[in-house]
Structure 1
Amino acid sequence: MIEPKSCAILIIDMQNAFVAPGAVFETPGARDMVPRLTELVDFARKSRIPMIWTQSDHSPPYGGIMLKKFLVIANQRILWPGDVSFNFYANMPQPHESELEHIIVKHKYDAFFETPLDAVLRFHKVDTVIISGTATNACCESTARSAFMRDYNVIFLSDLTATFDAAMHEATLRNVALLFGRVMTTAELLNELSGSEAKSQTA
Structure 2
Amino acid sequence: MENLINPKKTALVVIDLQKWIGNQYAPYSAEQVIDNSAALAETFRKADAFVSLVHVSSKDMKDIPQPKLDTVPPSLNMPSNWDEFVPKLNVSETDHIITKKQWGAFYGTDLDLQLRRRGIDTIVLCGIATGLGVDTTAREAFMHGYNLIFSIDAMTGFSQAEHDHVKNFIFPRIGKIRTTSEIIKSMN
TM-score, structure 1 as length reference: 0.80
After superposition, what is the alpha-carbon deviation per residue over 1:30-53, rounded to whole angstroms, capped at 9, x for unaligned?
Answer: 112233223212211110010000
Contact 2:13 2:125 (8 Å CA) reproduced:
yes
Partners in 2 of 1:135 and 1:67 — Cα distance? 22
Among 83, 86, 90, which residue is 1:86 paired with? 83
Partners in 1 of 2:25 and 2:85 — Cα distance? 14
Partners in 2 of 1:93 and 1:164 — Cα distance? 21
Which residue in the other structure is 2:10 paired with?
A: 7
User: Deviation at 1:60?
Assistant: 2.7
One-letter code of the match for 2:112? Answer: D
1:137 paired with 2:131, answer: yes
Which residue in the other structure is 1:48 paired with?
A: 48
User: Deviation at 1:17?
Assistant: 1.4
1:110 paired with 2:113, answer: no
Contact 1:13 1:133 (8 Å CA) reproduced:
yes
SS at match of 1:86: coil
1:177 paired with 2:171, answer: yes
SS at match of 1:130: strand
Which residue in the other structure is 1:31 paired with?
A: 31
What does residue range 149-164 of structure 1 map to in structure 2 within 5 Å?
149-164=143-158
- Report sequence identity in percent: 26
Greater share of residues in helix: 1
Point out where structure 1 has 5 or more consecutive residues left out of the alignment: 195-203
TM-score, structure 2 as length reference: 0.86
User: Deviation at 1:61?
Assistant: 2.0
Q: CA RMSD in A?
A: 2.1
